[in-house]
Chains A and B, each alone.
Chain A
Amino acid sequence: MKAKINKIAESLYFRLTDQEVEEVILEYKLMKEYFKFCQSIDTTGVEPLIYPCEKETFYLRSDANPSSISKADVLKNVSVVEDGYVVVPAVIKNAE
C-alpha cells in the first residue's frame, strides 16, 4: 500500500514523508469503505453524467479573440526571466 501511494504521489509530482503516507493510508481505508458502498449501487445501463446541464452551453463561438494577455504581463509572475524568455533548468544536457 505504501509503495502504491508513493507511486501515485510521484505521478502527481509531489513527495510524501513516511508519516504523511501513514496518514494517507488511514484516510484511504475509510474512503475505501465509501467506494465499496458505491460499488453496491446498480448502475447497469446507466450513462455517466459528466456535466450538470447537458442541454446547455455546447455551441460554436464566432472565430474572434475575446481577450488576450500581453507578453510582458504573462512574464510578470514567472520566477526567472531572461531576455523575454522563461528560464528553466537545461532540458538537453551538454554533450560530454
Chain B
Amino acid sequence: MQNNQDFMQKIEKVQSLTNAFVTIIKNKTEINPELPLSKVKVALKDNISTKGILTSSGSKSLSNYYPVFNATVVDKLEAVGVEFIGKTAMDELGMGGTGLSSYTGPIANPYDLKRVAGGSSGGSAVAVSTGLARFALGTDTGDSIRKPASYCGVVGVKPTYGRVSRYGVMPYASSLDHVGYFASNIKDAATFLSFIAGRDDKDMTSSKHPVEDYASFIGHDLRGKTFGFLKNIYDVCPLEIQAELDKLQLALKRQEINVKMVEVDQELLKAIYGTYMTIVNAESITNHASIDGIKYGVSILKDTVEASIMETRTEGFSLNTKRRMILGGYALEPENQEKYYWKALKIRRLIVEEFEKVFKKVDCLLAIGHIEKPQLINKPKKMTIYDEALIAENYQIFANFNGYPSITLPFMFKEGLPYGINVTAQPFEEGNLFNYCQTIEDITGLKDLIKEL
C-alpha cells in the first residue's frame, strides 16, 4: 500500500512538471502474480482504446469519449498481467512531432523542462524516461515513437508494418500508422514485442508472419554482418555527433562487423517531407471524417445536422489539426489529385525502391535520431524552406513508407540532452534488429537511463 502511495506521489509530481498524462489510472484491479508480466507498469498513448477509460487522442473533440471495447493490444497486455498506470498525452490525433498540440497542453522534456518531449507519442516517452513505466505504448506514423525516444533518452520501437494489431487504435493515416512502444533497454524491448505481436482477425492489415522469441536473437554472432551508416545524414551532423558516430564505427569494426557508408539519392531524401505531408494528410481527412459529434465525442447541436457537425468540428479541432486537414483537402481537390496526391504515391515508390537498393548492401541502416535540440515550448520553431536540418529531422519517415522495423536507442549526450541513434532492418527481421541494437547499447553503455524529477 505504501509503495502504491509513493508511486502515486511520484506520478503526480512528474505530471505537474511534464504534463505527460491525460489520465492517471488510480483504481487498480487484482492481478494474478503468476502471469509473465504480472504488475509490470505500462502506460498507453491516449489514442489506444481502453474500455471505460477516457481515450481522447489528444483532441478536445474526443474529450468525453469512453470506448466500449479495448484495443487488441490492450487485451493482449491485460492477459499477461501488466498494470496500466495511465493514458499519455499526445499531439492531437497524432498530428505532429512536438507534443505541443494536445488539448491538455504541451508535454515537457524531462531533461530540460523548457523544451518539448517530441511527438506525437511524447507522453509515453516521458513515462518511461522518468521511470514511471517500464513500457509505454505509442504509435508511429512519421517517426512519432522514434523522435521522442531520441529526445527523451529511451528506446523507441516501431515494428514492421502489420506486426502489431491496430484494432482499436485511432488512426491518423492507415498506410503509415504503426503501433510500437518505448522501453529502457534493448533486452526488455525485445522481450516485450513477443507479447504484443501477432495476427488479429479484427485488423485486416495485421500479418500472419509467425511471432518469434525476439530476445533469443540477442547474442548471436555478428561477425561478418554489415552495418551501413547513412552518409547523407552523417554529412550534415555537427562535428561532435560525427565524432561519436566515428567512435561507434571503430568499436563495431573491432568486433569484426563490417561498417559501410551508404548513400541514397539526395533528391529523393529531400522529397520525403513533402511526399509525407501530402499522403498523411490526405489519408487523415478520410479517417477523421467520423468525428462528427453524433455517434460519439463532444457534440454541439444546432438547427440542422450539417450545422451541428460544422460547429462540433470547428470547436473540437485545434488550428494545427485544421491546417493539416486543409493540406490534405487541397491535395485531394479534383484538379490537384493527379498533380499532388498520386504524384506523392509515385514518389513514395521511388523512395522505397531507393532504400531497397541500400538494404541489398547492408544488414541494417544507421543514422542519428535528431541533430537539433528539441525546440523550446514557449518559442516554437517556425517552419523553414528546405534545408539540411529539415531533411535530417525527417528522413526516418522512409521506414513508414516501406514499413521496415526501425528502432531508436540512446546514443550520446550533448549539452546535457540525450541523442538517439536510429537503426532499421528489413521487414520481420525484428529479432536480428534487436541483436544489432544490443551491440550498440553494449558499446555506448547507455541503458536504463532514468531521469528523476
In the bound complex, residues from chain B placing their C-beta under 8 Å from that of A8 are 326, 329-330, 333
In the bound complex, residues from chain B placing their C-beta under 8 Å from that of A89 are 301-305, 307-308
In the bound complex, residues from chain B placing their C-beta under 8 Å from that of A78 are 294-296
Among A11, A20, A31, A48, which residue has its beta carbon within 8 angstroms of that of B349? A48
**Contact status of A38 and B274, CB under 8 A, knowing A51-B175, A52-B402:** yes
Is A82 an interface position by the 8 A CB rule? no
Task: Name which residue of chain A comes closest to B384, CB basis.
Answer: A30
Query: Contact between B326 and A47 (Cβ–Cβ < 8 Å)?
Result: no
How far apart sit A34 and B272, CA to CA, in the bound complex (Å)? Answer: 9
In the bound complex, residues from chain A placing their C-beta under 8 Å from that of B297 are 77
In the bound complex, residues from chain A placing their C-beta under 8 Å from that of B162 are 53, 56-57
Is B232 an interface position by the 8 A CB rule? no
Q: Looking at A12, A20, A40, A51, which has the most chain B CB atoms within 10 Å of its CB?
A: A12
How far apart sit A50 and B175, CA to CA, in the bound complex (Å)? Answer: 7
Query: Contact between B348 and A27 (Cβ–Cβ < 8 Å)?
Result: no
Of all A-B residue pairs in the complex, the 3 with the closest CB atoms, nearest first, are A52-B403, A34-B274, A48-B345
Query: Contact between A24 and B65 (Cβ–Cβ < 8 Å)?
Result: no
Binding site for B on A (CB under 8 A): 5, 8-16, 20, 23-24, 27-28, 30-31, 33-35, 37-41, 43, 46-53, 56-57, 61, 66-67, 69, 73-74, 76-80, 86, 88-89, 91
Q: What does the 1/0 interface line of B318-341 toward A look like (CB < 8 Å)?
A: 010011011101100100000110
Query: Contact between A43 and B308 (Cβ–Cβ < 8 Å)?
Result: no
Minimum C-beta distance from A22 to chain B (A):
11
Query: Contact between A38 and B343 (Cβ–Cβ < 8 Å)?
Result: yes
Query: Contact between B294 and A57 (Cβ–Cβ < 8 Å)?
Result: no
Among B160, B306, B326, B343, which residue has its beta carbon within 8 angstroms of that of A24? B326
**Contact status of A41 and B201, CB under 8 A, knowing A30-B383, A79-B293, A91-B305:** no
Chain B interface residue bracket vs A: 35 or more
Query: Contact between B340 and A35 (Cβ–Cβ < 8 Å)?
Result: yes
How far apart sit A51 and B279, CA to CA, in the bound complex (Å)? Answer: 11
**Contact status of A57 and B205, CB under 8 A, knowing A79-B293, A89-B305:** yes
In the bound complex, residues from chain A placing their C-beta under 8 Å from that of B268 are 41
**Contact status of A11 and B345, CB under 8 A, knowing A31-B277, A46-B350, A78-B294:** no
In the bound complex, residues from chain B placing their C-beta under 8 Å from that of A14 are 310, 313-314, 317, 322, 325
Minimum C-beta distance from A67 to chain B (A):
6
In the bound complex, residues from chain A placing their C-beta under 8 Å from that of B346 are 43, 46-49
**Contact status of A12 and B329, CB under 8 A, knowing A38-B274, A38-B344, A78-B294:** yes
In the bound complex, residues from chain B placing their C-beta under 8 Å from that of A38 are 271, 274-275, 278, 340, 343-344, 347
Query: Contact between B329 and A66 (Cβ–Cβ < 8 Å)?
Result: no
In the bound complex, residues from chain A placing their C-beta under 8 Å from that of B223 are none
Q: Tell me the residues in window 120-159 of chain B with beta carbons closer than 8 Å to chain A beta carbons.
A: none
Query: Contact between A34 and B277 (Cβ–Cβ < 8 Å)?
Result: yes
Among B161, B309, B385, which residue has its beta carbon within 8 angstroms of that of A13? B309
Query: Contact between B310 and A15 (Cβ–Cβ < 8 Å)?
Result: yes
In the bound complex, residues from chain B placing their C-beta under 8 Å from that of A28 are 326-327, 330
Q: Tell me the residues in window 261-300 of chain B with beta carbons closer than 8 Å to chain A beta carbons.
A: 267-268, 270-271, 273-275, 277-278, 285, 292-297, 299
Task: Name which residue of chain B comes closest to A90, CB basis.
Answer: B304
Query: Contact between B329 and A88 (Cβ–Cβ < 8 Å)?
Result: no
In the bound complex, residues from chain B placing their C-beta under 8 Å from that of A53 are 160-162, 207, 403, 427
Task: Name which residue of chain B comes closest to A79, CB basis.
Answer: B299
**Contact status of A49 and B345, CB under 8 A, knowing A13-B309, A30-B383:** yes
Minimum C-beta distance from B9 to chain A (A):
33
Query: Contact between B326 and A35 (Cβ–Cβ < 8 Å)?
Result: no
